[in-house]
C-alpha cells in the first residue's frame, strides 16, 4: 500500500470521486498531509479495472449551462476489490497511517432497518460477518478492522459516513457498536470510548456517466475509462469530531466544519432529496426521463415549489444564517440545469431505503402538527405505483430495490399491503397515512401522474 495513504474509502463510486475526493485533494494542495485515498469496491471489479490502467487518476467534468470544465483528479492511489481479497482490505484499514475510513455504500449498505436506524441482525451479510472474520458488509469491515487495530495497540480510525442518512454518524455508530458487541463486548466498549463517528451532509448532483460522455472527452484528446460528471454546486458540512483531531485541512477548501450537522442534513435530505424522489417517481410515471425535463414541465415546476413552500419548509428549523426560501430557489435552478441529465429512473432506485429519510420524516412531523401534506402523500403513492413494475402505459419498469420482489407482490395486493411493510412504515405512521395515501393512489390510477400533480399544485 502506498505510504501516503491516509484515507480508505469503502464504496468508491461516482459521487465520492466527484465530491469528497476533490475536497481532499484540494486540502492536501492547500495544507499538505498524507491523506491520499485507497478506494474499496465491495463487490464489483469494474472500478478497479477501469482506473488501474490510468494509474487510478480520472477526470471530473463540471457541467454548467455555459459548458463543461474538466479537471484531472489524482488523489486516489489504489483500488481494492473486497469480494476478491477481503484480507487485503482489512490489512489496509488496520494500517496505523490510515486515520479515516469514509463510506458511500448507499442507504442499503448499512444492513440496517431504515424505519428505525438499528442494525438488522438477520441480514444475510451480517449473519455471515458474525460467523466469519472475512466480512462481506461495510459494517463488518469496520468492526473487524477496528478489532485488528485494538489487538495491535493502534488507535481507531474515524468513521466518516458520506451517505444520505439522517444523523448518519449516529446511525453508523449504532450499527457498528451493535455488531461489535455481538462479536466482542470489550471491542464495542473500546470503539464507544475511543472511536469517532462525525455526522456529515453532502450535496452535489452527480448523474451516471454515459458512453457519450467518454466519447466527448476523447474527441477533446482526453482518454479516460471512467470520468465523473457533476454540477457546479458542491457543499460538504462535517461535524469536527475526529480521532485525535486527525483530518485533512478541509476548512481551508470550503468544507463547513460545525458542532451539529443536524439542521443542515434535515434541510438537504428533505428539501433536495425529498423533492428529488417525489419528482423521480411522479415524473417517471408522467413520461419524463430527467429531472431537468420534469421541472421544465410547468405542472411539475409548480408542484415542487408547492412542496417546498407548503409542506417541507414549515417542518424545518433552518441552519444558522440560511434562508430556506432562497435555498429552494437555488435548488430549482440546479434542477433546471439542462447540462445535467439526472435520470428519474436513477434517482428512483432503492426507494424502500430512501423513503423514510427523505419523505416520511416530514410527513410524520406534519401529521403531528396537523399540517396537510397532499403532495408528499401523492409522492408516496407514486412510489407505490412505480414499484408495481408497470407504468401508466402498461410498459414494464425495471425496479432496482433490495426489496423489489416483495414490493411487487405487495403492490399487487394494494396500498394496505405496502403500508404494512414495517421496514419502511412504522405501524403508527402507516395507520396515519392510510386514508390520504389510499386516496392519492386511487387518483393516480384514475387520472395519471401529471393530472394528479396538477390538481395538487393548482397550476
pLDDT tens-digit profile, the chain (459 residues):
777 999 999 999 999 999 999 999 999 999 999 999 999 999 999 999 999 999 999 999 999 988 999 999 999 999 999 999 999 999 999 999 999 999 999 989 999 988 888 999 999 999 999 999 899 999 999 999 999 999 999 999 999 999 988 899 999 999 999 999 999 999 999 999 999 999 999 999 999 999 999 999 999 999 999 999 999 999 999 999 999 999 999 999 999 999 999 999 999 999 999 999 999 999 999 999 999 999 999 999 999 999 999 999 999 999 988 999 999 999 999 999 988 889 999 999 999 999 998 999 999 999 999 999 999 999 999 999 999 999 999 999 999 999 999 999 999 999 999 999 999 999 999 999 999 999 999 999 999 999 999 999 875
The reply to whether 392 and 253 lie within a common domain is no
- Single out the residue in 258, 284, 300 at which a domain terminates: 258
* Exposure letters 328-345 (e unless 16+ CB within 10 A, then b): beebeebbebebbbbbbb
Whether 209 and 286 map to the same domain: the answer is no
**What total of structural domains would you count in the chain?**
2
Question: Quick one: 248 and 284 in the same domain?
Answer: no
Which ranges of 79-121 would DSSP assign to H, the alpha helix?
86-94
Distance CA 120, CA 112 (A): 5
Whether 197 and 281 map to the same domain: the answer is no
Alpha carbon distance 272, 260 (integer Å): 19
Residue holding cell 475526493? 21
Q: Which domain holds residue 381?
A: 262-457
DSSP 8-class letter at 317: P
CATH number of the CATH domain containing 279: 1.10.1040.10
Amino acid at each position: 500500500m502506498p505510504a501516503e495513504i491516509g484515507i480508505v474509502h469503502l464504496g468508491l463510486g461516482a459521487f465520492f470521486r466527484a465530491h469528497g475526493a476533490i475536497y481532499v485533494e484540494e486540502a492536501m494542495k492547500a495544507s499538505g498531509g498524507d491523506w491520499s485515498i485507497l478506494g474499496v469496491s465491495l463487490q464489483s471489479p469494474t472500478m478497479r479495472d477501469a482506473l488501474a490502467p490510468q494509474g487510478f487518476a480520472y477526470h471530473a467534468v463540471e457541467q454548467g449551462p455555459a459548458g463543461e470544465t474538466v479537471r484531472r483528479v489524482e488523489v486516489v492511489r489504489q483500488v481494492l476489490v473486497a469480494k476478491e481479497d477481503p484480507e487485503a482490505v482489512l490489512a489496509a484499514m488496520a494500517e496505523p497511517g490510515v486515520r479515516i475510513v469514509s463510506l458511500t455504500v448507499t442507504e442499503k449498505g448499512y444492513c440496517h432497518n431504515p424505519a428505525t436506524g438499528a442494525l438488522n441482525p438477520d441480514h444475510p451479510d451480517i449473519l455471515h460477518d458474525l460467523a466469519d472474520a472475512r466480512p462481506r458488509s461495510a459494517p463488518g469491515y469496520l468492526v473487524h478492522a477496528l478489532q485488528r487495530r485494538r489487538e495491535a495497540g493502534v488507535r481507531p480510525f474515524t468513521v466518516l459516513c458520506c451517505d444520505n442518512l439522517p444523523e448518519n454518524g449516529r446511525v453508523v455508530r449504532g450499527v457498528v457498536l451493535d455488531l461489535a458487541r455481538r462479536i466482542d463486548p470489550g471491542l464495542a466498549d473500546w470503539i464507544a470510548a475511543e472511536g469517532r463517528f462525525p455526522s456529515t451532509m453532502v450535496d452535489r448532483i452527480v448523474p451516471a456517466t454515459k458512453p457519450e460522455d467518454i466519447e466527448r472527452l476523447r474527441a477533446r484528446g482526453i482518454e479516460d475509462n471512467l470520468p465523473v460528471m457533476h454540477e457546479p454546486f458542491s457543499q460538504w458540512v462535517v461535524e469536527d469530531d475526529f480521532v485525535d483531531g486527525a483530518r485533512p485541512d478541509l476548512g481551508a477548501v470550503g468544507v463547513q466544519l460545525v458542532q451539529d450537522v443536524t439542521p443542515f442534513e434535515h434541510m438537504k435530505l428533505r428539501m433536495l432529496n425529498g423533492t428529488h424522489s417525489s419528482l423521480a417517481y411522479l415524473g417517471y410515471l408522467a413520461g419524463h426521463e430527467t429531472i431537468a425535463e420534469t421541472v421544465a414541465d410547468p405542472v411539475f415546476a409548480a408542484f415542487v415549489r408547492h412542496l417546498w413552500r407548503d409542506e417541507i419548509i414549515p417542518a424545518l428549523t433552518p441552519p444558522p444564517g440560511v434562508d430556506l426560501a432562497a435555498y429552494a430557489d437555488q435548488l430549482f435552478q440546479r434542477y433546471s440545469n439542462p447540462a445535467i441529465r439526472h435520470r428519474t429512473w436513477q434517482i428512483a432506485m432503492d426507494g424502500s431505503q430512501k423513503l423514510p429519510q427523505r419523505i416520511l420524516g416530514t410527513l410524520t412531523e406534519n401529521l403531528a402538527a396537523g399540517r396537510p401534506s397532499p403532495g408528499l402523500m401523492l409522492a408516496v403513492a407514486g412510489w407505490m405505483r412505480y414499484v408495481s413494475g408497470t407504468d401508466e402505459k402498461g410498459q414494464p419498469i425495471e425496479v432496482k430495490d433490495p426489496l423489489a420482489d416483495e414490493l411487487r407482490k405487495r403492490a399487487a395486493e394494494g396500498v394496505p399491503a405496502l403500508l404494512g411493510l414495517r421496514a419502511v412504515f412504522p405501524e403508527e405512521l402507516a395507520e396515519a397515512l392510510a386514508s390520504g395515501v389510499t386516496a392519492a393512489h386511487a387518483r393516480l390510477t384514475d387520472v395519471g401522474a401529471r393530472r394528479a400533480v396538477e390538481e395538487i399544485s393548482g397550476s
